Amino acid sequence: MIRKAKIGDVKRIHSLLAHFAERNLLLSRSLSELYDHLRDYAVYEMPDTGEIAGVVALSISWENLAEIRSLAVIEDQQSKGVGRRLVEHCLSEAVILGIYRVFSLTYQPKFFEKVGFRVVDKNVLPHKIWADCVKCPKFPDCDETAVLIEL
């Protein structure tokens, strides 16, 4: 089950993201950032236990552009369609909001290509999206790949 994240989910989301950040598979998010942007997040709850097994965020970047970020699924639920469903949830939310271009900066471009995204040069993205990058420890030497889908 995919649902909007709640305040009680923040520490589990933080732990899940930290787990993958330690493996350099995504960028970490502070607790403060998670609380500040909680409305952007959705979680995947295991049907039998209610445990949070996946997370994703849809962040509005500009007038007609949103970003999928912080996509993570626990290892034993990977390759079962959970990540795809989380991304599709974000894409549906983008369309409801009237946003038809969605991008991600990722270390997993092949996953996103399977969902319909295409790899693009980072320069096609507006400069406004780079505001968060200044806080990144990898700035200015970003090694993520930009992917984009037009809905």
* Euclidean distance between CA atoms 134 and 132, whole angstroms: 5
What pLDDT band is residue 25 in, cutting at 50, 70 and 90? confident
What pLDDT band is residue 141 in, cutting at 50, 70 and 90? low
Kindly tell me if the per-residue pLDDT of 146 is higher than 80: yes
Helical H segments across the chain, by residue range:
10-21, 31-36, 82-97, 109-114
Pairing between β-strand 101-106 and β-strand 52-62 as defined by DSSP bridges? unpaired
Kindly tell me if the per-residue pLDDT of 137 is higher than 70: no
DSSP 8-state code for residue 117:
-
| Architecture, CATH, for domain 2-150 | 3-Layer(aba) Sandwich (3.40)
Kindly tell me if the per-residue pLDDT of 11 is higher than 80: yes
Structure tokens at 89: 């949830």
- In whole numbers, what is the pLDDT of the chain averaged over residues? 91
- Other CB atoms within a 10 A radius of the CB of residue 5 amount to 21
